[in-house]
Structure 1
Amino acid sequence: MYYISGMKIFPLLCCIFAILSLHAVAQHSPAAPHIQQLTSGAHTSLRGLSVVTNKIIWVSGSNGTVGRSTDGGNTWSWITVPGYEKRDFRDIEAFDQNTAIIMAIAEPADILKTTDGGKTWKLVYENTTKGMFLDAMEFWNPDSGIVVGDPINGRFFVARSFDGGDTWHDIPYLELPKADSGEGCFASSGTNVRNLERDAAAFVSGGPHSRLFIRDKVIDLPILQGTATTGANSIAVKDHNKRNGKGGKHLIVVGGDFANDTLQEKNCFLTNDGGNTWIRPATPPHGYRSCVEFIGGQNVICCGTSGVDLSTDDGMHWTLVTNTGYHVCRVAKKGHAVFFAGSNGRIAKLTL
């Protein structure tokens, strides 16, 4: 009788143990990554995003809009820059809670700077050349920066600053990179130009031709191209060697076709040798992507109008996190927080 009772009790004990084990796993397993929306509804499209620390975030966009948070995105101060109510600030570079630089696209191409948290703005650069269209800015450090723009008379526009954006100097015309017919840059996220090393930057182009430019080196990209809406939109650089001044080997480029934003064809490529050879991800992002960002370790995030993808293996496999669209994603310069910005004033934060 005892043996038979034990046989009856044993399955019940196993079932109880399994339930308790699953509960313990659930209690200790990390939560799936998700996007926490912080604010939305504003009548502005946000494409500029600069995350200084886990607490200090700046955004910029259409209708002369600039936003700032000093508490990790919980609350925001919104500014409409006087005299620029109809301008589109497609990129922003912030250095602290008081200092930031914004870039207005199209004619005239204007760059403005604030040192008092956005209360006042100083025009530090203006270019009235016909056809001017600035695309993105990048800074190596608080002093040295670069801005790139669409081609004028067959050459991409480039200007440099060496005093924290207080003054800008156009690169001489004959030293500028040559553009193919119809080739240009996409001012979609402020990330089509990135610093590689202490004295080098890289930028990507799109349209009928899509290429990578590094100093005097021009590399054809395997990304989708051929029409005005296709090509590379963003480049990310893994900085594991930058401390030695030898970064820029591991790059990821994203883009696709923004007119067909769920198309996964040739929308992402990576290289481990500075662009000499390119690898297509085994599982690509789930559509057109306007921004890509290394966020620590082997983790990479990318976003576009059709959603957000996360990779945990340096870009070889991508998982869709949300199909809510964002234009830009950035990780804190001093910290680990990752934020997003997009249409309708939408701002969000990644939770891993």
Structure 2
Amino acid sequence: MAVGLCAAALAALTVVPAQAHGAQRPAPHWQLTDSGTDARFRGLSAVSRDTAWLAGSKGTVLRTTDGGTHWRNVSPSGAADLEFRDIEAFDARHAVVLAIGEGEASRVFRTDDGGATWSEAFRNTDDRAFYDCLTFFDRRHGLAMGDPVDGKFRLLSTSDGGRSWTVLPSAGMPAAQDGEAAFAAGGQCLVASGPHDAWLATGGAAHARVLHSADRGLTWTAADTPLPAADPARGVFALAFRDRTHGIAVGGDYRADQPSPRAAAVSGDGGRSWTSAAEPPPAYRSGVTWLPHSRTDALAVGPTGTDLTTDGGRTWTTVDTGSYDTVDCAPDRGCWASGEKGRVARLEPRR
């Protein structure tokens, strides 16, 4: 019953005119909140309708515990020169944030007191490495991924909630294509579902691929996707898996003056194969999330708007034209989106 009600409510996002009276049905919508900053927030972690964390430019980390009415600046001390691109929060007090960049610019921090203090858990010392995204299987086990070094994507692993990190052996990682990399665009180039499965998204090479691991990052298999490729600006930018079988990939070409046909694809076999969406989003998308407690509904976001699917990613309808880089939902159906110029919004229910 709950699944059906959720699907019905979210389907109303399309704002289809009511046939009987010619009036539009009220629908859930993004409600902007005042973040108090102009930072660009590509990192987002939704804990609930009340609690969410943001990570962005100029070393900025924000947290709300009252549904976005107030945002508290909980940025790590001395981090103003860092670019935070991903954050994973376990609750209102515990979170792990990733800074990207070459060499020592790539770092991981953890807080256990709501951002009052942070500890530096990892600092990259390899000038060839550039980390892009992180994910957690549970409160203890997680991965962080970086662009290829010596021809293979680099993985970090933690088993203590992000307090310490170890570079994983590369023997189980397939060779990278020439020019292949990940996009640190919305914190969703590395995702997990369940206790062991993880997927990473790639682009910039001949084929836009998704790599899958069923053993927490020790071994990986690669699959081509139909998303735009063969250019450094094209590929898969974000992934979402509602379980270990059903996944959605979105992306395209991030350049505003370039089209992005086939900007979404779906998988029903755990990422072993991908099929183009029959009606994809109309432009590049950098974030995607399944709606909680639904087997069919998901949202995708990008600089030109938000799209809704109610059939598992096969067809998409644009429901908002605001600019967002990433989107995330919590189990209690609290959904958030964030992006440029301090933009952050919560999805408000139908009234």
TM-score (norm 1): 0.86
**1:307 is matched with which residue?**
305
SS in structure 1 at match of 2:318: strand
Measured in 2, the distance between the counterparts of 1:53 and 1:61 equals: 20
RCO comparison, higher one (Cα < 8 Å, 6+): 2
Distance 1:321 1:261, change over 3 A: farther
Query: Structure 1 residues 269-278 or 164-173, which shifts more?
Result: 269-278
Measured in 2, the distance between the counterparts of 1:253 and 1:238 equals: 12
1:224 aligns with 2:221: no
Distance 1:249 1:143, change over 3 A: same
Number of equivalences: 320
SS in structure 2 at match of 1:92: strand
Are the aligned partners of 1:154 and 1:178 in contact in 2 as well (CA < 8 Å)?
Answer: yes
CA-based RMSD of the aligned residues comes to: 1.9
**2:321 is matched with which residue?**
323
Measured in 1, the distance between the counterparts of 2:40 and 2:318 equals: 23
Are the aligned partners of 2:35 and 2:71 in contact in 1 as well (CA < 8 Å)?
Answer: no
The Cα offsets for residues 179-214 of structure 1, whole Å up to 9 and x where unpaired, read as 111000000111111113421211110112311111
SS in structure 2 at match of 1:344: helix
1:162 aligns with 2:155: no
Cα deviation, residue 40, structure 1: 5.3
**1:13 is matched with which residue?**
none
Measured in 2, the distance between the counterparts of 1:280 and 1:289 equals: 14
Cα deviation, residue 251, structure 1: 1.0
The Cα offsets for residues 291-345 of structure 1, whole Å up to 9 and x where unpaired, read as 111013121000011111111111122111222110100001x310110010111
Cα deviation, residue 172, structure 1: 1.6
Q: Point out the structure with the larger helix share.
A: 1
1:71 aligns with 2:66: yes
The Cα offsets for residues 12-63 of structure 1, whole Å up to 9 and x where unpaired, read as xxxxxxxxx956x96xx85233221112562311011011122110000110
Alignment of 1:192-203 (within 5 A): 192-203=189-200
Measured in 1, the distance between the counterparts of 2:195 and 2:74 equals: 34
The Cα offsets for residues 203-249 of structure 1, whole Å up to 9 and x where unpaired, read as 1101123111113311111110010000000111022xxxxxxxx22
- Counting aligned pairs with the same residue, the percent is 35
Query: Structure 1 residues 249-258 or 261-270, which shifts more?
Result: 261-270
**1:92 is matched with which residue?**
87
Unpaired segments ≥5 residues, structure 1: 1-20, 240-247
Identify the match of residue 75 of structure 2 among 80, 85, 106: 80
Identify the match of residue 37 of structure 2 among 21, 35, 42: 42
Identify the match of residue 236 of structure 1 among 237, 240, 257: 240
Are the aligned partners of 1:261 and 1:288 in contact in 2 as well (CA < 8 Å)?
Answer: no
Identify the match of residue 288 of structure 1 among 284, 287, 300: 284
Unpaired segments ≥5 residues, structure 2: 1-18, 214-219
Distance 1:175 1:322, change over 3 A: same
**1:53 is matched with which residue?**
48
SS in structure 1 at match of 2:291: strand
Cα deviation, residue 263, structure 1: 2.5
Cα deviation, residue 95, structure 1: 1.1
Distance 1:307 1:178, change over 3 A: same
